[in-house]
Chain A
Amino acid sequence: KNQVEQSPQSLIILEGKNCTLQCNYTVSPFSNLRWYKQDTGRGPVSLTIMTFSENTKSNGRYTATLDADTKQSSLHITASQLSDSASYICVVSPDNYGQNFVFGPGTRLSVLP
């Protein structure tokens, strides 16, 4: 069964600190892996999309890594800000047809002053 697991379930850090969120997947075949940020009461917003051949992709203070061999991805947030408080969702696409996305449950990040 295609699944995406994320850890930790929730995380609390102080403003200015770095953090890393984990994503493990058992989706096969693999097309691409995406990270989304979802603020409370809003829809998810795309952070990165990585294909099989990409190991790292950055978007400002967000850096995603992908190890397709071990089926693991991480999202590293540098110098966290209060506005980073949100849920971060890992999404894997098993094909190129664009509708069979497998969503993880998300990691809830709280950044405190």
Chain B
Amino acid sequence: EADIYQTPRYLVIGTGKKITLECSQTMGHDKMYWYQQDPGMELHLIHYSYGVNSTEKGDLSSESTVSRIRTEHFPLTLESARPSHTSQYLCASSEFRNSPLHFGNGTRLTVT
């Protein structure tokens, strides 16, 4: 399996809290992605990055931010968590445009 790690695996927080989901990969991939996945539903792109200091917004980016200061690290921050943010968040990386996406095992977030 690919070396891409997400922490925490599970998180329960209260409404209004600021949280950061961590994602790290040891493969030296330039491209990294954050996806949101609800049970039985499609993955939706939140943010992506082509490399250090390069980030772009996806379809669901309006309530979160990312940074890419180092190649291996791509954290996702929710400034003020809401119950609608309850979901699974998947981080992925890839080497080239047509390379497979390598996914982490996700963070299951519950906002109460």
* Complex contact A43–B98 (CB within 8 A): no
A42-B100 Cα distance, complex, nearest whole Å: 16
Q: How many interface residues does chain A have, given as a range?
A: 20 to 34
Q: How many interface residues does chain B have, given as a range?
A: 20 to 34
B1, B101, B105: most-surrounded residue (chain A CB, <10 A) = B101
- B-side contacts of A104, CB under 8 Å: 42
A34-B98 Cα distance, complex, nearest whole Å: 10
- Which among B12-20, B64-72, B76-84, B89-97 touches the partner chain? B89-97
Interface residues of B (CB under 8 A from A): 1, 4, 31, 33, 40-45, 48, 56, 58, 90, 92, 94, 96-98, 100-106
* Complex contact A105–B41 (CB within 8 A): yes
Give 18 A-B contacts (CB < 8 Å), ordered by A residue: A34-B100, A34-B101, A43-B103, A44-B101, A49-B98, A89-B43, A93-B98, A96-B98, A97-B97, A98-B31, A99-B56, A99-B58, A101-B45, A101-B101, A103-B43, A105-B40, A105-B41, A106-B40
